[in-house]
């Protein structure tokens, strides 16, 4: 049995850095929930991310999303960090599948 080589043309989610969450959000002062990627996304990946992240922001009540190199920063008062992590993982996986040639559009499913 051989182990497939990861596709280095798309970023893989390495994990999350989750600070203590606050009940109210100060986008300028609060720490972000950070999704750490193995590589910085390319322009095509970023375009797909930008197209899809707005619906996720609304569903999760995020105040803002920023990209910094191989990190995605999420600002919000979301009380359930596991829910956010699950939604972000699904979004990243869906974008990676689309970049790889699978064309199912991302439909966020936040429960």
User: Taking the domains of the chain in order of start, what are their residue ranges?
Assistant: 13-99
70: pLDDT confidence band, cut at 50, 70 and 90? Answer: very high
CA torsion, ordered 46, 67, 70, 56, to nearest 10 deg: -70
Instruction: Give Rg (Cα) of the chain.
Output: 14
Q: Please give the mean pLDDT across all residues of the chain.
A: 79
Say if residue 78's pLDDT is above 70: no
Spatial distance between the Cα atoms of 72 and 111, rounded to a whole number of angstroms: 22
15-55 per-position pLDDT tens digit: 998 876 656 655 555 678 899 999 999 999 999 999 999 88
Give the pLDDT band of residue 77 (cuts 50, 70, 90): low
Domain spanning 13-99, CATH class:
alpha beta
Cα 3 to Cα 52: distance, rounded to the nearest angstrom? 31
pTM across the whole model: 0.74
């Amino acid at each position: 049995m051989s182990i497939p080589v990861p596709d280095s043309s798309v970023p893989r989610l390495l994990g999350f850095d989750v600070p203590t969450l606050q009940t109210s959000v100060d986008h300028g002062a609060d720490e972000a929930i950070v999704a750490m990627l193995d590589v910085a996304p390319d322009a095509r990946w970023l375009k797909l991310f930008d197209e899809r992240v707005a619906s996720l922001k609304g569903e999760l009540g995020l105040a803002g999303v920023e990209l910094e190199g191989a990190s995605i920063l999420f600002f919000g008062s979301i009380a359930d960090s596991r829910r956010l992590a699950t939604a972000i993982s699904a979004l990243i996986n869906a974008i990676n599948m689309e970049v790889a040639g699978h064309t199912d559009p991302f439909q966020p499913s936040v429960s």
